[in-house]
């Protein structure tokens, strides 16, 4: 049985043609505005959280526990969604220095989230252990926590982008167009997993392309496979094959590291905004759209007729980069 969801985000999100960008790259490129899912929720995370938090409520949990970087869009969306539903949130955020009160972190604090700052090393090696200790801490106080992994990228969260894929199919009918290629940034694997699964289950024959903004393509192929194996526990009567060989994830656009921006990446965000009036973020969509631009120029998408890029949000992350722009 497919997992059930809450209704929190503003769906369906619009699809727009990127007129000037399409002219520049000489391809038909469109964008799905998942950055417009809601102000506090803004971005792709709320699609996954609608399923994850529903599971938490069904298990009588009163507190959401999750993790991410200090400017995590997912953590901010979790805190906002929790408030709407009467749930507390504990956010385990990664930072090796005292963070500036800006961007997503500022919003976390405004919303009253319980923020726990840990080092990059602890985050890498011990974040699951740390969240499980918080679970025990809550239990000792008579509360019940629910752990949501980084990016809500797990089995139940994947249904968010399975639903998004079906939403796209409906919009194709409305617009009278077929998108043969769908492109998304890959940062924890859940969005790509959901689109990949939707393509499989509907036999749509589209090319789902991920552009990783951290780690490597091989890492994410393995991670997506793990997520999809977990999905099978929710839909045991639905058969589908998982093959890393037919997962298309393009490496080469991580730059100097996750959430670390190069001048040319920020310049691209500015150029794109001037051309289209759409703001990309520095962590995910800025790098992924720049990757799409570069790969089109290299001929990677020469067989694609209509390309749809998923704008996964992240606007608030720009404010932490304010001193890196050359204005």
Mean confidence (pLDDT) of the chain = 97
* pLDDT classification of 113: cutoffs 50, 70, 90: very high
Dig out the tokens for 263 from the structure: 């001048």
Q: Which residues participate in catalysis according to the annotation? A: 72
Length of the chain counted residue by residue: 327
Q: Determine whether domain 15-43+156-324 maps to CATH 3.40.50.1100.
A: yes
| Mean pLDDT (whole number) for 37-46 | 94
CB of 64 closer than 8 Å to CB of 53:
yes
CB of 182 closer than 8 Å to CB of 195:
yes
Q: pLDDT by residue (tens digit) across 79-101?
A: 999 999 999 999 999 999 999 99
Is pLDDT above 60 for 1?
A: no
pLDDT value for 266: 98
Give me the percent of the chain exceeding a pLDDT of 90. Answer: 97
Q: What is the 3-state secondary structure (H, E, C) of 174-209?
A: HHCCCCCEEEEEECCCHHHHHHHHHHHHCCCCCEEE
Q: pLDDT by residue (tens digit) across 176-232?
A: 999 999 999 999 999 999 999 999 999 999 999 999 999 999 999 999 999 999 999
Q: How far apart are CA 212 and CA 158, in angstroms?
A: 17
Is pLDDT above 80 for 303?
A: yes
* pLDDT classification of 102: cutoffs 50, 70, 90: very high
| Mean pLDDT (whole number) for 55-63 | 97
pLDDT value for 2: 61
Instruction: Name the strands in the sheet holding 114-118, side by side, starting at the edge strand that comes first in the sequence.
Output: 114-118, 88-94, 63-69, 145-147
* pLDDT classification of 134: cutoffs 50, 70, 90: very high
Q: pLDDT by residue (tens digit) across 164-188?
A: 999 999 999 999 999 999 999 999 9
Domains 15-43+156-324 and 45-152 fall in the same CATH topology: yes
Q: How far apart are CA 208 and CA 84, in angstroms?
A: 33
Sign of CA dihedral 319, 211, 228, 306: positive
pLDDT value for 315: 94
pLDDT value for 294: 98
Dig out the tokens for 132 from the structure: 């499980």
Under CATH, what is the fold of the domain 45-152? Rossmann fold (3.40.50)
Is pLDDT above 70 for 53?
A: yes
| Mean pLDDT (whole number) for 293-305 | 98
Closest alpha carbon to 309 in 38, 41, 6, 25: 25
Residue ranges per domain, the chain?
15-43+156-324, 45-152
pLDDT value for 4: 82
pLDDT value for 3: 75
* pLDDT classification of 317: cutoffs 50, 70, 90: very high
């Amino acid at each position: 049985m497919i997992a059930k969801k809450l209704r929190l985000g503003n769906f369906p999100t619009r699809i727009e043609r990127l007129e000037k960008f399409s002219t520049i790259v000489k391809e038909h490129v469109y964008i799905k505005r998942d950055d417009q899912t809601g102000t506090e929720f803004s971005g792709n995370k709320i699609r996954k959280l609608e399923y994850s938090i529903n599971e938490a409520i069904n298990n009588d949990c009163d507190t959401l526990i999750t993790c991410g970087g200090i400017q995590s869009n997912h953590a901010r969306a979790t805190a906002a969604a929790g408030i709407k539903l009467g749930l507390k949130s504990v956010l385990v955020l990664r930072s090796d220095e005292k963070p500036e009160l800006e961007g997503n972190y500022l919003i976390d604090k405004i919303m009253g989230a319980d923020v726990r700052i840990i080092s990059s090393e602890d985050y890498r090696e011990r974040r699951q252990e740390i969240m499980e200790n918080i679970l025990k801490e809550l239990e000792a106080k008579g509360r019940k926590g629910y752990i949501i992994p980084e990016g809500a990228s797990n089995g139940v969260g994947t249904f968010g982008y399975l639903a998004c894929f079906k939403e796209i199919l409906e919009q194709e009918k409305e617009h009278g167009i077929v998108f043969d290629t769908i492109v998304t940034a890959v940062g924890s694997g859940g969005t790509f997993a959901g689109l990949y699964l939707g393509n499989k289950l509907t036999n749509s024959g589209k090319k789902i392309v991920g552009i990783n903004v951290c780690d490597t393509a091989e890492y994410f192929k393995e991670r997506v496979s793990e997520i999809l194996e977990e999905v099978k526990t929710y839909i045991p009567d639905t058969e589908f094959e998982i093959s890393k060989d037919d997962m298309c994830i393009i490496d080469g656009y991580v730059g100097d590291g996750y959430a670390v921006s190069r001048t040319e990446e920020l310049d691209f965000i500015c150029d794109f905004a001037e051309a289209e009036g759409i703001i990309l973020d520095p962590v995910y969509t800025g790098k992924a759209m720049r990757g799409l631009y570069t790969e089109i120029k290299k001929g990677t998408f020469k067989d694609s007729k209509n390309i749809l890029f998923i704008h996964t949000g992240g606007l608030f992350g720009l404010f932490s980069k304010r001193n890196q722009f050359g204005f």
